[in-house]
Structure 1
């Protein structure tokens, strides 16, 4: 091997090493996050560290301003009185709502707020038998005689109507037999299996605006 070839190999090897160092730095900096509990995140000892915290959304703690969502989480297996404030800028899944499990990744500032760059929501699947459930059309036909009275209603999710909690009507329920539609209000957690066209069974009541205020939403099963 002549000197020219050796120099070329040294240069190529050096370039490969530099590229590997850059790649490792980028990957490590963007994905490395220490998993900690809500209590650990709230005690102030992890400020400016990249962390991942899992907890359940505190009931009615969320609000949206522009594209910024703020809410609080607690540890369902720990001290439920300890809350961690979270802010997240970006699209929020329709599964987001009261008591849904939120997996938040980001950095905690000096004020104890976790500024999440990643937000994943999870809710266990829930199934309900449609026996004794009214159709959307039947329920609306009863009109004011059933306002604010507890009932079960079954139908399917209208395509493109699913929204996260706090963004108005949660979704539109459609009568599979005749296409009658009804807006549904619900701020609780939705299973991530609920999608456009899903068959659902809802428990709740019809209000004077002909919207259904749901207390429970389950997949028909």
Structure 2
């Protein structure tokens, strides 16, 4: 290889490297999200910019149309009562629910809505003793005699039965000994650990007339 050919290859290689650097810079710049507060997101100064906003889901603010989940979030550390509307085009995790912390990433539209392409939910794990709680089999055995009465029941999460809040029954509770089951209604926040397949949990709530358990609290069994 003569000197002229070597020089030409060096120049071509240099151009390729520069183009790759430019492409990476453009791609990186377009996907990076700026973390801002909910108040900043609601101010209108970040329209059409890719941002990440964290807030808690406003109680019963969520609806699902097709595959689009819409809801509102608020800042639990702020007293001004500001909320931000979010539209998420994707499947919500089973941990989604009232007052759960939602980390939303996307672009804010001219209408002030955060159109999220990514969403992560989280909430603190809670534990509760299962002492004196009824088993599923024992509770169901009482039938109508226990309907509407606040009780505590313990069992395990049936594998594959979990749904996000607002998308039907939240999960199925199974008796670890007999295999008896009951469908559970619950719209509150709950951790991924609590809703894991086979997790032992303690529920507080009441048996409804249609034979489902309406829970007011879901906790991991100690």
Shorter chain as denominator, the TM-score bin is: over 0.9
- Corresponding residue of 1:209: 210
- Corresponding residue of 2:41: 41
Task: Supply the RMSD in Å over aligned alpha carbons.
Answer: 1.0
Name whichever of 60-69 and 16-25 sits farther off. Answer: 16-25
Deviations 1:115-167 (A, max 9, x none): 00110000101001100110000001111111111110000111110000000
Map residues 1-221 of structure 1 onto 2, 5 A cutoff.
2-30=3-31, 32-79=32-79, 81-194=81-194, 195-221=196-222
Secondary structure, in 3 states, of the residue corresponding to 1:84? strand
CA-CA distance at 1:20 after TM superposition? 2.0
Q: May I ask how many residue pairs the two structures share in their alignment?
A: 220
What is the CA–CA distance in structure 1 between the aligned matches of 2:214 and 2:220, rounded to whole Å?
17
Which of structure 1's runs of 4+ aligned residues deviate more than 6 A?
none
CA-CA distance at 1:17 after TM superposition? 1.6
Normalising by structure 2, we get a TM-score of 0.97
Deviations 1:35-93 (A, max 9, x none): 11111111212111111100000000000011000000000001362110000011110
Gap regions ≥5 residues in structure 2: none
Deviations 1:144-192 (A, max 9, x none): 1111111100001111100000001000000000100100000001112
Gap regions ≥5 residues in structure 1: none
What is the CA–CA distance in structure 2 between the aligned matches of 1:199 and 1:35, rounded to whole Å?
36
Normalising by structure 1, we get a TM-score of 0.97
What is the CA–CA distance in structure 2 between the aligned matches of 1:203 and 1:75, rounded to whole Å?
28
What is the CA–CA distance in structure 1 between the aligned matches of 2:29 and 2:203, rounded to whole Å?
45
What is the CA–CA distance in structure 1 between the aligned matches of 2:189 and 2:216, rounded to whole Å?
10
What is the CA–CA distance in structure 2 between the aligned matches of 1:66 and 1:24, rounded to whole Å?
35
What is the CA–CA distance in structure 1 between the aligned matches of 2:25 and 2:184, rounded to whole Å?
48
Asked if the contact 1:74–1:83 (Cα under 8 Å) also holds between the matched residues in 2, the reply is yes
What is the CA–CA distance in structure 1 between the aligned matches of 2:9 and 2:41, rounded to whole Å?
51
